[in-house]
């Protein structure tokens, strides 16, 4: 399991979430919505300090991570974060690891 964040998505986090070097961005499973991995759950994202990190990727001093308690959501998949420039929204894809 790994996290891949495109350059466009990194710029989105810097602009929309005002992320700067030293900040941490958490991806987590949330109840509600839908995803291709789990019915009734969707992916959430927030800027917060990590607790128990399962996997992380640092880009430009910004730490992108998933905690152990959310690891089940991504089992056997890599998280790819990109940007849909037409609507200026993040796009998440899950690739079999």
What whole-number distance in Å separates Cα of residue 25 and Cα of residue 39?
24
Q: Which domains does the chain have, with CATH numbers?
A: 3-96 (2.60.300.12)
DSSP code at position 30: E
The per-residue pLDDT string of the chain (97 residues; one tens digit each, 9 = 90 and over) reads 999 999 999 999 999 999 999 999 999 999 888 788 878 889 999 999 999 999 999 999 999 999 999 999 998 999 999 999 999 999 999 999 8
Place of tokens 């056997």: 76
The separation between the first and the last C-alpha atoms of the chain, rounded to the nearest angstrom, is 6
For residue 85, with 0-12 CB atoms within 10 Å meaning exposed, 13-18 middle and 19 or more buried, which class applies? exposed
In this structure, are residues 27 and 70 in contact, taking their beta carbons and an 8 Å threshold?
yes
> How many Å apart are CA 50 and CA 67, to the nearest integer?
7
**Does the pTM exceed 0.85?**
yes
């Amino acid at each position: 399991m790994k996290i891949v964040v495109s350059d466009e998505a990194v710029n989105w986090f810097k602009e929309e979430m005002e992320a700067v070097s030293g900040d941490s961005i958490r991806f987590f499973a949330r109840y509600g919505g839908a995803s291709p991995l789990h019915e009734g759950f969707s992916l959430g994202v927030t800027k917060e300090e990590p607790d128990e990190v399962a996997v992380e990727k640092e880009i430009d001093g910004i730490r992108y991570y998933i905690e152990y308690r959310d690891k089940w959501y991504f089992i056997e998949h890599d998280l790819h974060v990109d940007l849909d420039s037409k609507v200026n929204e993040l796009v998440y894809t899950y690739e079999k690891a």
